[in-house]
Structure 1
Amino acid sequence: MENFKLTNFFTIKGISAASGLVYSQNVLFVISDSSNFLYQYDIDKKLLLKFPLVKDAKENIEKAEKSDLESITQYGNQLIMLGSGSTQKRNTMFTLDLGSDALQTQDLTALYQNLKTVGSFSGDQLNIEGAIYAHQTMLLFQRGNSKNSRNGIFIIPNNQEDGIRFVPISLPTLDDIETTFTDAILVNDKIYFLACAENTESTYEDGEVLGTVLGIMHAPTFEIIDIHLLSEDKKFEGITLYKESETEIEFLLCEDNDTETLETTIYQLTLKK
């Protein structure tokens, strides 16, 4: 018997292709890989606000032009959002100060090129899908879903002169296809990550979804200590901590259903400790 429970929590109208989320003080911040907005959803009021990240921000941007925001993480009062790096147009980082609403934009082209060199990736293999910032270090989760690519974690210290490292990670398979990272968060000394199996050899084109697993990793060593099959047909792309007690830990998940419908379902995942 599985020691988790996965339920539909609520639906947000006005967001498509949700790719990451952060929960804070009963507000859910959501990014989409086909939009230039940061979405802010007040759970109690059921109110959705949109924060433009670029001038003339758009939704349902055509694939060749989109920023492909796949990673969102919170550090203190800052929300950090990153493009996947899978094309030249996807190399931007946005940082939003939640206190002042001050928005900063940074071009990560040079850093992403360095990541390709460190990880021995060719031009179209880089695909950053999750980010964690802790202990003066950024962890970026590489989704190895292109041909000959690899799953792994880039370790980027604040002082990059100390050296960037890439740690390959072997993930479980579904229907003989290796799952690939879609998001990750840090809770205490554990990394909780999502990984999806998709029948594609491209970082660009979507394929048949074969399921999503939740993995638990010992943060200091990246050793995988537990795996749970969450779904055989859903592509979960975002995870955030919702509640924690002595016996249970609760997460909120978002799903990228690869459609242009402006609606996203938020799922509640309860895991016994």
Structure 2
Amino acid sequence: MTNFKLSTFTTINELSAASGIVHLNNLLYLISDSSTFLYQYNILKKKLSKIPLKLNGEENILKKDKPDFESITLFNNKLYIHGSGSTKNRETRITYNLENQNVKQKDVSKLYNKLQQLASITANDLNIEGTIITENSIYFFQRGTNSDSTNGIFIYDKISKTATFKIIALPKVQNIEVTFTDAILVQKTIYFLAAVENTSSTYLDGEILGSFIGKINLSTLELIIIQKISDTHKFEGITLFKKENNDLQFLICEDNDIAKAGSTLYLLEGFQ
């Protein structure tokens, strides 16, 4: 285990239920699972801007109606934002072009249906919490539930349009499996967040029993290490903040499942 330090980085009062984060050039791009805005936070100016991802952006959307944007990733100067799946209104991908601010929306229900069949799970149990995009592949991080334990990674080949599924077994807390909440790629290593929540549903929230960070080898998809970083927080988004030689600093966001409560971002240091 590594000696890590977790500290408060900043609190954004105008943003609630942050579920994903990307750092780029002193800017943070954040999403909320109950909003159809992309949030841009200027670290130096401490200023938040809102970018509507749909014609009429909404916030604090009711659970039954929300798009449940849980993953945001950067590839080729575009931000890709995915809904989690499990219901029709959660099967959308948004692409935001950082060069021209163009927004594109795509229905990914056919792809999600393919993924759920591959993992032999029902539509209700599909729960995409993180994505990593490379030149040839897209990695979808499926958060398992207490009922089916299908925590793992879908690997979608962009060339052949085929996919595979790799189950990733993580530790248990009070006999409940730790499951993915986000992931990023740093060189050839996947850094992921995971949490343990006392619920058997992809729809309903439960008691938080802790959050973890870990590493997975990109080539083999084998687990390298996993370490608990909090007993009480539900961390849902991670991004690389600074890299100096082998020293990495990450920014982490928390979804407290409380509407209008503001979002606190945390700095994680010392985990290698």
* Structure 2 residue aligned with 1:27: 27
The aligned residue for residue 111 of structure 1 is: 111
Q: Which runs of 4+ in 1 moved over 2 A?
A: none
Matched, 1:195 2:201: no
**Aligned residue identity for 2:259:** E
Contact 1:153 1:166 survives alignment (8 Å): yes
- Helix, strand or coil: the match of 1:124? helix
The 8 Å contact of residues 249 and 271 in structure 1, kept in 2 or not, is answered as yes
**1:102-141, aligned counterparts within 5 Å?**
102-141=102-141
Residues of 2 paired with 1:3 and 1:222: CA distance? 24
Q: For the residues of structure 2 that align with 1:32 and 1:146, how far apart are their CA atoms?
A: 24
Q: Could you report, residue by residue, the CA deviation over 1:2-42 in whole angstroms, capped at 9, with x for unpaired residues?
A: 42111001111211110000000000000000100000000
3-state DSSP class of the match of 1:67? coil
Look up the SS of the partner of 2:115 in the other structure. helix
Runs of 5+ consecutive residues of structure 2 not aligned to the other structure: none
- Once residues 65 and 79 of structure 1 are traced to their aligned partners in structure 2, the CA distance between those partners, rounded to angstroms, is 23
1:270 aligns with 2:245: no
Give, in whole Å, the separation in 2 of the partners of 1:267 and 1:198: 20
- For residues 49-90 of structure 1, the C-alpha deviation after alignment (integer angstroms, 9 at most, x for no partner) is 000111221110000000000000000210000000121110
Partner of 2:230: 231
Q: AA paired with 1:241?
A: L
Instruction: Give distance in 1, aligned partners of 2:59 and 2:74.
Output: 23
Deviates more, 1:193-202 or 1:117-126: 117-126
Q: In the alignment, residue 184 of structure 1 is paired with which amino acid? A: A
Please list the CA deviations of residues 105-152 of structure 1 after superposition, one character each: whole Å capped at 9, or x if unmatched. 000011111111111111201000000001310000000025214101
* Identity percentage of aligned residues: 47
The answer (yes or no) to whether the contact 2:2–2:271 under 8 Å persists in 1 is: no
Counterpart residue identity of residue 204, structure 1? Y
Which residue of the partner structure matches residue 159 of structure 1? Answer: 159
Equivalences, count: 272
Aligned equivalent of 1:246: 245
Structure 1 residues without counterparts, runs of 5 or longer: none
Partner of 1:171: 170
Output the TM-score relative to the length of structure 2: 0.97
Please give the alpha-carbon distance, in whole angstroms, between the structure 2 residues aligned to 1:260 and 1:80. Answer: 24
The residue number in structure 2 matching 1:71 is 71
**Equivalents in 1 of 2:8, 2:266: separation in Å?**
5
The question of whether the paired residues in 1 share the 8 Å contact of 2:172 and 2:178 is answered with yes
Q: 1:234-259: CA deviations, max 9, x gaps?
A: 00000000001124100000000010
Partner of 1:99: 99
Q: Give the structure-1-normalised TM-score.
A: 0.97
Letter in 2 for 1:186: L
| Contact in 1 for aligned 2:79/2:95 (Cα 8 Å) | yes
Q: Distance in 2 between matches of 1:78 and 1:160?
A: 22
CA shift digits 1:154-174 (9 cap, x unpaired): 00111244x210111101112
Any conservation in 2 of the 1:30–1:40 contact (CA below 8 Å)? Answer: yes
The answer as to whether partners of 2:86 and 2:124 remain within 8 angstroms in 1 is yes
Q: RMSD in angstroms over aligned alpha carbons?
A: 1.2
Contact 2:85 2:123 in 1 (8 A): no
Structure 2: how far apart are the matches of 1:208 and 1:46?
32
